[in-house]
A = this chain, B = another copy of it.
Amino acid sequence: MILSALLTSVGINLGLCFLFFTLYSVLRKQPWNSAVYAPRQLAKQTRRSQNGGGDEEEDDFFNFDMLLPSAGWVRRAWQVSEDELLCRSGLDAVVFIRIFVFSSRVFAIGGAIGIFVLLPVNYLGNQLSIDFYDLPNKNLETFSISNVNDGSNWLWVHFSAAYIFTGVVCYLLYYKDAEKLYKTLARVKSQSSQQINKRDRLLGFFRGRDTDVSHYEQKLEDLERNVRIEQHSLTGELPNTSVEVPAAFVSFKSRFGAAVALHMQQGVDPTEWLTEEAPEPRDIHWSSFSSSFMKRWISRIVVVVACVALTILFLIPVVLVQGLANLEQLETWFPFLKGILDLTIVSQIVTGYLPSLILQLFLYLVPPVMLMLSSMEGYLSSSSTEKSACTKVLWFTIWNIFFANVLSGSAFHQVNIFLEPKNIPKILAEAVPGQATFFISYVVTSGWTKLSSEISQLTSLLWSYVTGVFSSNDDEEIDVPKLPYHSEIPRILFFGLLGTTYFFLAPLILPFLLIYFCIGYITFRNQLLNVYEPKYETNGRFWPIVHGSTIFSLILMHVIAIGIFGLKKLPLAATLTVPLPILTLLFNEYCRRRFVPLFQYYPTESIVKKDKEDQNRPNMAEFYDKLVTAYRDPALLPVQYARNSSSLSSPLLNSQV
């Protein structure tokens, strides 16, 4: 690709983005669109009006301002503080936005180094020996490391840049960004429960082989004598069902007691008595409530195998289907299309776009499939299921978009490479720089376009118009969507991986990424405030995935650097790069010990503090009363209650915070 072609593509996409954002700023002001652009406010108003409280303050009359594009929403999205975001959309939203902040900072610094230091060095090389002057017709490769002469000492600039960039990323992971997040998390964990809308009672969740409930009670009393135990099991609570399940929710008088039951191995056989923190009632995955240790263990293994197979072998069925769905096949299946398909333009479009369309369709199926697989693993909560699906989608994306494009051989050939670890740096160093142009246009088309479609919500908008024509019921329940973290986070992290690996190979990618992260920051802040509502909390457990992905990206960059310096006949630089991945892994290991426990459990310090505060609260008795009915499987409730149970049980616990 030449520079002018890239600039054209960028221009077109930038124009489209601008158009969509302008369109959004007009459409969002139309009151009949608020079900699409501001469902959160609308739902709140609907609830308020259903409860008979307050008059409708919405004014429905026409105003000329409503047709003018404006940037007020950008200002509003920008101004919201992190605390307000935490309060309105939960910790997961804060983590999500932090990914943009972190990536923007990384690529602002990386971009400065890349554009002002590495790009000129690359451009001044003449390995590719292309005419120096005709800038617009310049091949983009001249801006990449491929253009630096073999054995040139200029490569030491790239070497230093790799070290500096790694240092910057690790520093940002530890101080200026992530530590802030850890501090927020620590604050949330030690904060008094009056202030924070989060799970505010630890509930030990017991599973066992035995089905005799009274036996449990006896055992539990033996185990935890300092804590008065109330035990509610499904069977105990619901006399109209006769199914006994070997699992129960157990509530404790104090958080500390629950934490003790959670952290200690109860019986001599560690698989007999399993304890887990109970999720919030709205977060429970009821179908895996009573599965045993063995069942969960086996299903987890099966799912892991299925996921690995799907991830590695995904491209094979896709390529096969693409082969089947070519022009001639279509003509055989749908003979009436023959006339149209014989037109040159149509046939060009079909043969040009059909394969990519099929690939896109298959890719759209991946997040739901991964979510389904994760739900088969038997996690007790939807949040854990989504977190697990997020990891799966991330690895899928890295493998099937990055490695499949870079290695571009048969899938089996790709797997083989990882059976010869010695050759990995060389193979990657040969293959990765060549795909720089592809990934630059991927950022511009896929990344920017996704943001436009996210903000404009065109499909939802069209759908609301279509349904609006057929239904005229104004009092209908507003369906406030949830941000699908398991498909969005992997996408953003993948752009981070592209930036990190191409940072010193083809720094031209960095400005486009930086634009993506900045627009994404504003877009998603706006969406989180107006469109998406948190259905449950993972307590920031997505951040370790972000951390892991960043470390993986750095290591991948180092491996490619080792290969590149080898190929460019600078073996000393290749050798001196070897300590870099080792140091990065050590840094990762330190962070794992230092920060990861914070994401998993509440420390004693904050639990005891919260317990003390609880003792002085007047409405604890009321809370215990509500707790009795909080954990009931909606499937076992009478039908009229079952439908509302998720919306009922959620305020039940939150009413008290």
Residues of A within 8 A of B (CB): 186, 189-190, 219, 222-226, 256, 259-260, 263-271, 293, 297, 301, 416, 419-422, 586, 590, 593-595, 597-598, 601, 603-606, 608-609
Contact = CB atoms under 8 A, between A and B. Distances in A.
B594 A270 contact: yes
A586 B270 contact: no
A268 B594 contact: no
B268 A189 contact: yes
Q: DSSP class of A's interface residues: helix, strand, loop or mixed? A: helix
A297 B593 CA distance: 10
Contact of A270 (B271, B603, B609): B603
A276 B421 CA distance: 39
Given A297-B593, A422-B419, A270 B598 contact: yes
16 contacts: A222-B605, A222-B608, A260-B260, A260-B264, A264-B603, A265-B604, A266-B603, A266-B604, A267-B603, A268-B603, A270-B593, A270-B597, A271-B594, A301-B586, A419-B422, A420-B420
Contacts of A271: 593-594
A223 B586 contact: no
Nearest to A257: B226
A606 B267 CA distance: 8
Nearest to A222: B608
A223 B186 CA distance: 16
Nearest to A609: B222
Given A260-B260, A593-B297, A224 B268 contact: no
A186 B268 contact: yes
A223 B604 contact: yes
A224 B608 CA distance: 8
Contacts of A259: 264
A319 to B, nearest CB: 24
Number of copies: 2
A174 to B, nearest CB: 13
Contacts of A225: 256, 608
A420 to B, nearest CB: 5
Contacts of A224: 604
Q: Which of A224, A593, A597, A603 has the most CB of B within 10 A?
A: A603
Contacts of A219: 605
Nearest to A221: B608
Nearest to A225: B608
Nearest to A595: B270
A259 B597 CA distance: 19
B266 A264 contact: no
A269 B595 CA distance: 8
Listed from nearest, the 7 A-B pairs whose CB atoms lie closest are A419-B422, A270-B597, A263-B263, A265-B603, A186-B268, A223-B604, A226-B226
A586 B259 CA distance: 31
A265 B601 contact: yes
A219 B603 CA distance: 13
Given A190-B268, A268-B189, A590 B297 contact: yes
Contacts of A269: 594
A80 to B, nearest CB: 27
A225 B260 CA distance: 13
Given A224-B604, A301-B586, 16 more contacts: A222-B609, A225-B256, A225-B608, A260-B260, A260-B263, A263-B264, A264-B601, A264-B603, A265-B597, A266-B604, A267-B603, A267-B605, A268-B598, A270-B603, A297-B590, A420-B421
A398 to B, nearest CB: 21
Contacts of A595: 270
A268 B655 CA distance: 27
Contacts of A419: 420-422
A266 B608 CA distance: 10
Contacts of A265: 597, 601, 603-604
A266 B420 contact: no
A594 B209 CA distance: 14
Contacts of A420: 419-422
Most buried by B among A226, A259, A301, A605: A605
Nearest to A420: B420
Contacts of A416: 422
A606 B268 contact: yes
A423 to B, nearest CB: 8
A425 to B, nearest CB: 11
Contacts of A604: 223-224, 264-267
A269 B268 CA distance: 31
A414 to B, nearest CB: 14
Nearest to A605: B267
Looking at A259, A270, A271, A609, which has the most chain B CB atoms within 10 Å of its CB? A270
A615 to B, nearest CB: 11
A608 B223 contact: yes
A129 B265 CA distance: 61
A596 to B, nearest CB: 8
Contacts of A226: 226, 256
A204 to B, nearest CB: 12
Contacts of A270: 593-595, 597-598, 603
A297 to B, nearest CB: 7
Contacts of A590: 297
A605 B263 contact: no
A518 B256 CA distance: 53
Contacts of A594: 269-271
Q: Which of A259, A421, A604, A606 has the most CB of B within 10 A?
A: A604
Contacts of A263: 260, 263-264
A85 to B, nearest CB: 22
Nearest to A266: B604
Contacts of A608: 222-223, 225
A374 to B, nearest CB: 20
A58 B260 CA distance: 56
A561 to B, nearest CB: 19
A222 B268 CA distance: 30
